Chains A and B, each alone.
Chain A
Amino acid sequence: MQSVPLMSAAAECGFPSPADDYLDRPLDFNELLIENAPATFVVRVAGDSMTGIGIFPGDLAVINRARRVVDKSIVLALVDGEFTLKQYRRRGSRVWLHAENPAFTDIEILEGMAFEVWGVVTNSIRTF
């Protein structure tokens, strides 16, 4: 990942720059996007079931497998062996996957379905 200099102070000859005492580390996008490095993975979004909250095909979704799943987490889930990116919903013992796109219906997780949360989506990155 490229780093972006927050400020720069080229040393000319003779006197030190007055900014030298205030030099900081460059902005590090890893800091922003990676909560827990060994548990963080990146996937490419293909589907359009989450466009309502701004996750579009072609985006890079950052996934933290260490983050706890709670009601309304955006998750990468496995339902009957297929990956799907949805919002995790839970009320009492009912669990369902909600799509943020009216063209998709919610998927209720019923007994006998193979279901697992692969990881929690923490960010989506889009390049224009």
Chain B
Amino acid sequence: MARLFALVDCNNFYASCERVFQPALRGKPVVVLSNNDGCVIARSNEAKALGVDMGAPWHLYRGRFDEQGVIVRSSNYTLYGDMSARVMRILADFTPDLELYSIDEAFLDVTGIADLEGHVRRLRATVLQWTGIPVSVGIAPTKVLAKVANRLAKKDPAAGGCRLLRDPAVEEEALQALALGDLWGIARRMAVRLEAEGIKTPLELRAADPQLLRQRFGVVMQRLALELRGVSCLPLELAVPDRKSVVASRSFGRPITARADVEEAVASFTSRAAAKMRRQGLATAHISTFIETNPFREQDKQYRASRGFTLPVATADTATLITAAHAALAGIWRDGYRYKKAAVMLVDLVKASSVGSGLFDRRDDSRSLARMRALDGLNTRFGRDAVTMGRTGRPRPWALRRDRLSQRFTTHWEELLSV
């Protein structure tokens, strides 16, 4: 039987989450800012209609937003994450075969479902009723076309939130209206390369010789072109593959000049990254530390540097990793700069169970493993950072700026909606 994929995408997800609990935001232009209130990362339809761009830096647009009545929220990932989990759980009731593609998108295998339109109508109504989140659905024989269908479902008010592309003539008409960069998986640079080879539109890409595409651009582009023809090459990825690396990085709430403060931030990021790594049963011997001044403050002296540090044996122990991260920091630290950002990256992750001991250096012993289990257990139970290593310190002068943060309505007793 011919396969059919559905892409379910939450409409303006972050803004929609905010609106579920704050009805005053309905029908108004709403934008959500990136971490540290940097720039716009999500917009309601009303904000889009006002011409607010993705990535607009808040500090430049603040006055204009006030004048236009644009409501601003700091990103509340605790809330969005919980609402996302609810939506995904409901989707899983509609089909067991689903791929969580992002916080607000999932691919579903809807092959062989009788009364597909009724099924999708019930799915959309259920998600909206149970969570308050509106979703759009695009259905097609391949994932790439399902993305196209979803885009149409969103853009066309007559679509009623769902578009089905199953007929090559309809697919052709849909692709006609798109640019290469609108296709899933084609970044701007790739679009430029394709254009240089005479492939200027999605339809031309679909018509191109797959073998030639493979030679010129690699197997990914070949698959993409085949998917445009309705030949499914990208299966559902049901399980999230293990990560190769973990990054923890933040901008500081205000510029930092003292080395001790940066060391604290680096220790805290390392703790967070290490906890993430342990959740997947992984360990590493390679850590790298990065620091940077604020490139947008031209009046400041600028500096950015990163350095890696390699341990003799892979470890999952936070204390050991912090020592390594600080050793890397020591190599790049310069006094006299106003630092804006730091990052810690754990790379080359390996299965913790497969780490062997060296001649002189031992792998993590049972005491270290027990200590880390206790640390992770307490932090899961009492909230992130309830228990930290001695070096991470607090309070934090560098903590996130989140001036417009709404409550964590669904995960914190003391922040519930009051009615």
Chain A residues in contact with chain B, CB under 8 A? Answer: 36-39, 41-47, 60-61, 65-66, 76, 78, 81-85, 118
- Taking CB as reference atom, which chain B residue is nearest A36? B130
Q: Please classify the interface of chain A as helix (H, G, I), strand (E, B), loop, or mixed, using the class held by over half of its residues.
A: strand
The answer to whether B89 and A37 touch across the interface, beta carbons within 8 angstroms, is yes
The answer to whether B132 and A65 touch across the interface, beta carbons within 8 angstroms, is yes
Known: A37-B89, A38-B86, A65-B131. A81 touches B419 (CB 8 A): no
C-alpha spacing A39/B129, complex, angstroms: 8
- Taking CB as reference atom, which chain B residue is nearest A64? B130
The answer to whether B418 and A44 touch across the interface, beta carbons within 8 angstroms, is yes
- Taking CB as reference atom, which chain B residue is nearest A42? B416
C-alpha spacing A61/B131, complex, angstroms: 17
**Cβ of B390 < 8 Å from any Cβ of A?**
no
Contact residue among A39, A43, A84 (Cβ-Cβ distance under 8 Å from B130): A39
- Taking CB as reference atom, which chain A residue is nearest B132? A65
Listed residue (B90, B129, B409, B417) with the most chain A CB atoms within 10 angstroms of its CB: B417
- Taking CB as reference atom, which chain B residue is nearest A43? B417
Task: Mark each residue of chain B from 7 to 37: 1 if its CB lies under 8 Å from any CB of chain A, else 0.
Answer: 0000000000000000110100000000000
Known: A38-B86, A81-B24, A83-B23. A45 touches B131 (CB 8 A): no
The answer to whether B419 and A45 touch across the interface, beta carbons within 8 angstroms, is yes
Contacts of B418 in A (CB 8 A): 43-46
Contacts of A38 in B (CB 8 A): 85-87, 89-90, 130-131
Contacts of B86 in A (CB 8 A): 37-39
**Cβ of B410 < 8 Å from any Cβ of A?**
yes
- Taking CB as reference atom, which chain B residue is nearest A65? B130
Contacts of A39 in B (CB 8 A): 86, 129-131
Chain B residues in contact with chain A, CB under 8 A? Answer: 23-24, 26, 85-87, 89-90, 129-132, 409-410, 416-419
C-alpha spacing A36/B417, complex, angstroms: 19
Closest 9 CB pairs of A and B: A39-B130, A38-B86, A83-B419, A44-B416, A43-B417, A38-B89, A46-B418, A44-B418, A81-B23
**Given A43-B419, A47-B419, 11 more pairs with CB closer than 8 A:** A37-B89, A38-B87, A38-B90, A38-B131, A39-B86, A41-B409, A41-B410, A45-B418, A45-B419, A81-B23, A83-B417
C-alpha spacing A61/B418, complex, angstroms: 10
Listed residue (A41, A66, A83) with the most chain B CB atoms within 10 angstroms of its CB: A41
Contacts of A65 in B (CB 8 A): 129-132
**Contacts between chains A and B (CB distance < 8 A), count:** 51
How far does the Cβ of B264 sit from chain A's closest Cβ, in whole Å?
A: 34
C-alpha spacing A83/B23, complex, angstroms: 8
How far does the Cβ of A13 sit from chain B's closest Cβ, in whole Å?
A: 25
Contacts of B417 in A (CB 8 A): 41, 43-44, 83
C-alpha spacing A81/B129, complex, angstroms: 18
Contact residue among A44, A66, A85 (Cβ-Cβ distance under 8 Å from B129): A66
Contacts of B416 in A (CB 8 A): 42-44, 60
Contacts of A41 in B (CB 8 A): 409-410, 417
Contacts of A118 in B (CB 8 A): 132
How far does the Cβ of B82 sit from chain A's closest Cβ, in whole Å?
A: 10
Contacts of B87 in A (CB 8 A): 38
C-alpha spacing A107/B343, complex, angstroms: 55
C-alpha spacing A84/B23, complex, angstroms: 12
Contacts of A76 in B (CB 8 A): 419
How far does the Cβ of B92 sit from chain A's closest Cβ, in whole Å?
A: 10
How far does the Cβ of A16 sit from chain B's closest Cβ, in whole Å?
A: 29
The answer to whether B419 and A85 touch across the interface, beta carbons within 8 angstroms, is yes
The answer to whether B89 and A46 touch across the interface, beta carbons within 8 angstroms, is no
8 contacts between A and B (CB under 8 A): A38-B89, A39-B131, A45-B418, A60-B416, A61-B419, A65-B129, A65-B132, A83-B417
- Taking CB as reference atom, which chain A residue is nearest B83? A38
